[in-house]
A and B are shown apart, each in its own frame.
Chain A
Amino acid sequence: MDFSFSDEQSMLKDSVERFIQNDYGFEQRQKVAALDAGFSAENWKTFAELGWLGVPFAEADGGFGGGAVDTMLLAEQFGKGLVVEPYVPTVLLAGGFLKVAGSAEQKHKYLTGIIDGSVQGAFAFAEPQGRFNFADLTTTAEAAGDGYTLNGYKAVVINGPAADLLVISARTSGGQRDTEGVSLFLVDASAEGISRRDYPTVDALRASEITLENVKLTADALIGELGGGLPIIDEVVDGAILAIGAEAVGSMEVLYKDTVEYCKTREQFGQPIGKFQVLQHRMVDMFMEYEQAKSLMYMAAMRLDEGYGDEAAKAVSAFKVQVGKSGRFVGQNAVQLHGGMGMTEELNIGHYFKRLTMIDTMFGNVDHHLKRFGSL
């Protein structure tokens, strides 16, 4: 057993920590989030220059050769800064599918662009009727000549507006919720037949509703085995869950510490409100929730680095359950203890709260992952 970070990991952690401290203060973050694109192209360039966009990819593919622990370290710091740049959709989802299931040609074609920052990606999986079930698909891909024709509708595609490359899940056989018959396709976002409706999310990200109408794909658009997409989705998404969970852990750290500081300075009834035991105990509970989530973050990262399987999936679901519960508790109570100030758009607190609440929903909430945990 070893809980220490390698030299490379410590360096990575330091470099992203410095960036968040120096270049990603709350005001800067708010400016970036208000841009039309919803994130800063300049920051994205910096991410590429610092090598962060290549972290999870093999050195042979031009990456950094990092594992889940490396991703975790990055994402935890992103969470502290409430980073809006689309690391998860581009690098961990679009890039993740290429890494896990991409052919040599597919990797060659797309990974360089992801790593150098010129290509943005998104994973279009959710559908209005499907809730958290990746297999519940009405979008279809029918064999047509040498390739496929896509028809359907994808909901709340995070980073849809910026994406050049879409990974789209579609049914190629079986009934609407069958576990077999799910296939994955790499699709040029500007392909004919794709139309988007773009909008911001409550936590300042950008998303799209995507309509697919007779989108023509060539045979090499298929990623992984035909009809065998579901296990690939599980593996790639579990890697992304580790990252958004780590973001949540970073956000919770900021929230509990900021709340402690606020309660030490805010005076009512002639004394700092932190003198009141009822508030002290609430903050202790917030601290404990943060630590418990952090513990399972380490566990999930280490299990993922041991290799993907039920053990790793179970650890990820346990982590997601904890993140959902802890995030809600810490977020809501940070707002509560900041009183009226916590309710304002002006203060950072509410923005962390919003992000934490959305992280619970992403890729399945507490209820969903409890069930999954029990079934594994």
Chain B
Amino acid sequence: MNLGLDDAERAFQIDVREFIDAHWPEGAREVGGAMAHPPGRRSVAEQHWYDALCARGWSVPNWPVAHGGTGWTPTQHYIWDRETTRAECPVMSAFGARMLAPVIYAWGSTAQQAKFLPPIREARVQWCQGYSEPGAGSDLASLRTRAVRDGDHYVVNGAKTWTTEAHVADWMFCLVRTNTTTERRQQGISFLLIDMASPGIEVHPILLLGDQHSVNSVTLTDVRVPVANLIGEENHGWTYAKGLLTHERTGIAGIATSQVRLGKLKQMAACEQDGALAEDAVFQRKLQEVEIELMALEMTELRTLATVQEGGAPGPESSILKIKGTELRQRIADLQIEALGYYGLPYPDDLLLGNEGPVGPDGALDSLRRMLYGRAASILGGSNEIQKNIIAKAVLGF
């Protein structure tokens, strides 16, 4: 047992740092932050970053080598994750690269793999996820969007909601009901890929707390989808969707991001005007408690990576990454607002701001937006309460 990097890993770390310095230099970092922008909405620097990733073959490191992945060891993935997060590099949109792609390379046909994987790998296409519906949130299997076969097409009718990036997406991967008479609701669901330019699709923005606009409601009216866009077998979509969820357990904890944010918060608390926070033992204690929990979670993630590295399936400890990771992210965001004191209050609308900048310390508004929007972290992707149900069933055997 040891935590050190070996020579090869250290060399890799240097390689990664040099790559980042060359293609995402300090100057670019404030422009893009860690935001992911769809094609056509990227700054020159951000687009350059993606181009450099593709040229180096590092755009989708976690994919199988046959499809353009890197074949890195879990430790290399860990190094990559930490270094790019620390440098606040742009992140590939998760919908295509991390959520859909594993389904396509596991269950898609050769033709589907050839058609859909390269544009994702090259960050040329924006995907969105059509799962939740007005009546199907945590209880996703109750979804009612209907797809009826008509020759070479499915005709899709229904409504999706909370659809992140739908307003800028080129494609949507979508769960639809193809059979309404099955014994278990999970059995009649299929996994369809839908071109967002298809006639019959309407996208309406939903404005969330602290969010400028990322989620939408989507209505589908007689949308014709080629049968060629069905993944795997009809009525087996639930299996694929679930597989997708269990595939990507590591990395979802956002530990590196939390570490960066906590680091900034500690810095801020240390140099805040009169040092009141630096001397506030109660506040410092809160920071220390978060720091320790974050260390624990990082080790939990490393344990998971180690198991995977040895060729095993992630152990039960991996299931806590999402719950603890989102809790910690939210706690850090809360502490940021606490640290701002009264400057946690101003929330100027961009339109009212005019040419004068926002009031208060740099980044105050971002902190506020992050705290508000960050409440979604424990809701989306299966709320933390649902996650506990899953652990109770899968790990504790209830």
Binding site for B on A (CB under 8 A): 1-5, 9, 69, 260, 263-264, 274-275, 277, 280-281, 283-285, 287-288, 291-296, 298-299, 301-303, 305-306, 315, 318, 321-322, 370, 373-374
**Do B297 and A295 touch (CB < 8 A)?**
yes
Interface residues on B, range: 35 or more
In the complex formed, the residue of A with least CB distance to B5 is A1
Selected A-B contacts with CB under 8 Å, 11 pairs: A3-B303, A275-B398, A283-B392, A284-B392, A287-B320, A287-B391, A295-B298, A296-B299, A299-B299, A321-B292, A374-B288
Asked whether A288 and B288 contact (CB < 8 A) given A3-B302, A3-B303, A299-B299, the answer is: no
Residue contact B1 to A5, C-beta cutoff 8 Å: yes
**CB neighbours of B388 from chain A (8 A):** 280-281, 284-285
B36 at the interface (CB under 8 A from A): no
B1:A280 contact, CB within 8 angstroms: no
Q: What residues of A have a CB within 8 angstroms of the CB of B310 in the complex? A: 4
Is chain A's interface secondary structure helix, strand, loop, or mixed overall?
helix
Do B397 and A305 touch across chains, with their CB atoms under 8 A apart? no
List chain A residues, Cβ under 8 A from B395. 284, 287
Are A281 and B292 in contact, CB atoms less than 8 angstroms apart? no
Q: Is the CB of B299 within 8 A of A264?
A: no
Q: Is the CB of B3 within 8 A of A299?
A: yes
A280 to B295, CA, bound (A): 26
Cβ A281 vs Cβ B392 within 8 A: yes
Contact status B295-A374, CB under 8 Å = no
Contact surface of B with A, Cβ cutoff 8 Å: 1-5, 9, 75, 78, 284-285, 288-289, 291-293, 295-300, 302-303, 306-307, 310, 316-317, 320, 323-324, 385, 388-389, 391-392, 395-398
Contacts A292-B293, A295-B296, A318-B295 given; does A302 touch B284 at CB 8 Å: no
A284–B289 Cα gap in the complex (Å)? 21
B128 CB to closest chain A CB, in angstroms?
31
Most buried by A among B75, B296, B300, B324: B296
The reply to whether B396 and A287 contact each other, CB–CB distance below 8 Å, is: yes
By the criterion CB–CB under 8 Å, are A322 and B292 in contact?
yes
On chain B, the residues within 8 Å of A275 by CB distance are 398
Nearest CB in chain A to that of B285: its residue: A370
- B348 CB to nearest A CB, Å: 36
* Nearest CB of B to A174, in Å: 27
Q: What's the least CB distance linking A322 to chain B, in Å?
A: 6
Given A274-B398, A322-B293, A370-B292, 13 more contacts at CB 8 Å?
Answer: A1-B302, A3-B307, A5-B1, A9-B1, A280-B389, A287-B316, A291-B300, A291-B317, A292-B293, A292-B320, A306-B4, A318-B292, A322-B296
